[in-house]
Amino acid sequence: MIKKDYYEILGISRDASTDEIKKAYRKLALKYHPDKNKEKQAEEKFKEAAEAYDILSNPEKKKRYDKFGHSSSQGDSGGMNMEDIFTNFGDIFGDAFSFSGFSNYKKKNIKGSDLRIKVKLTLNEILKGIEKKMKVQRMKMAKGVELIFCKNCNGTGQITRVTNTILGIMHTTTTCSICGGLGKKSERLPKGVNNQGLKKKEELVSITIPPGVTEGIQLKISGKGNDAPFGNGIPGDLIVVIEEIPHEKLKREGKNLHYDLYISFPDAVLGAYEEVPTGDGKARLKIDAGTQSGKTLRLKGKGLPFLEGYGRGDLLIHIIVWTPKKLNEEQKKMFQQIKNEENFIPQKSEKSFFEKVREMFSS
């Protein structure tokens, strides 16, 4: 297909100035805008004029075109669509496109409102990660909504007022009170539909929760919020707020887990094996003979995974030696006999409690 000369399309001479090129394009864009001109070829001529302007308004492209013709611009402007045209050249129109079409293309970036839900997770779910199916009440574009462009603002969503002041002419732009800045309003609304053409509908949404999330963290599910008003834009997002269900035995501190293990005095003296809970099961733990109350044992890698996916925290077991409050006569006699023996006399630890804690968290 033979392309028309760009200068011929815009109706200008080859030595036309930048302002003349812009003025010629502006005139054609107004004339052939598809929302104002319903002729069959209007949109094609509108795009054709935009392509010509794209080449001739750029000094480098214009120079190549003047020298090599259309072969110089292959790939520069091919396949331009209406949104590209308004994105690239909309700023030169000023207030000329204060009608529905320009408003329609500009409003394509309107985003619906976000939704927020809370999801409660057990420690095991946090440890492994999980995919949950949640019922979400979303505002969706309703069927049967008839729309008309707002005549109050000519579809722009804004009202511009011109005021003469002692400083000169002032232009004040405000949101249209009739359409709320949408440029459209409803002519007929079905039952249960709000004034933005939206109706509440329940939808089952799949939410993938990665391992290692923490209380209060927010996950974003794109496009699963409310639809934009009248469906003229993109849906908002679904914000998922994580809540942790406290574990009955384990306490969480960041990526580490803590467990208080109570052992009897004989077990502390003689040593024993104990079963302790972990986030995903149980572990068998050896208690050495002579273990002191307050000692902390560490099971590496038995805590929670890092959200970034590198390794896991630890499970810290805090030993508490249980001292009985009541003894029978035989038990009392036994302790009376041994309490003054040398190995039952308390000895000062080589390291203080705070030194042990510092050493534990730095290792």
The 10s digit of each residue's pLDDT in 284-342 is: 999 999 999 999 999 999 999 998 777 899 999 999 999 888 999 998 898 888 888 87
**319 and 291 Cβ atoms separated by less than 8 Å:** yes
- Which pTM was predicted? 0.58
DSSP letters for 251-307: EEETTEEEEEEEEEHHHHHH-EEEEEEETTEEEEEEE-TTPPTT-EEEETT-SPBPT
Is residue 299 classed exposed, middle or buried when 0-12, 13-18 and 19+ CB atoms within 10 A define those classes? middle
Proportion of the chain in helix, strand, coil states, percent, rounded to 5: 30, 30, 40
Both structure tokens of 14: 């080859």
Q: In terms of Cα–Cα distance, which of 363, 213, 212, 252 is closest to 300?
A: 363
Q: What is the pLDDT of residue 46?
A: 86
Beta-carbon count within 10 A of 62 CB: 18
User: How confident is the prediction for the chain on average, in pLDDT?
Assistant: 83
* Cα–Cα distance measured from residue 348 to residue 329, given in angstroms and rounded to the nearest whole number: 30
pLDDT-derived band at 69 (thresholds 50, 70, 90) equals confident
Predicted confidence (pLDDT) per residue in 72-110, tens digit? 554 444 455 555 565 555 555 554 444 344 444 444 467
Average pLDDT over residues 236-264: 95
Predicted confidence (pLDDT) per residue in 144-188, tens digit? 787 777 888 877 778 888 888 776 777 788 888 877 777 777 777
Predicted confidence (pLDDT) per residue in 177-199, tens digit? 877 777 777 777 788 888 788 99
229 has pLDDT over 80: yes
**β-pairing verdict for 315-322 and 184-188:** unpaired
Which strands sit side by side in the sheet containing 238-244, from one edge to the other? 115-121, 238-244, 218-221
Average pLDDT over residues 113-133: 95
CA angle 178, 181, 185 (to 5 degrees): 50
Cβ-based neighbours of 39, under 8 Å, separated by 6 or more: none
* Cα–Cα distance measured from residue 159 to residue 155, given in angstroms and rounded to the nearest whole number: 10
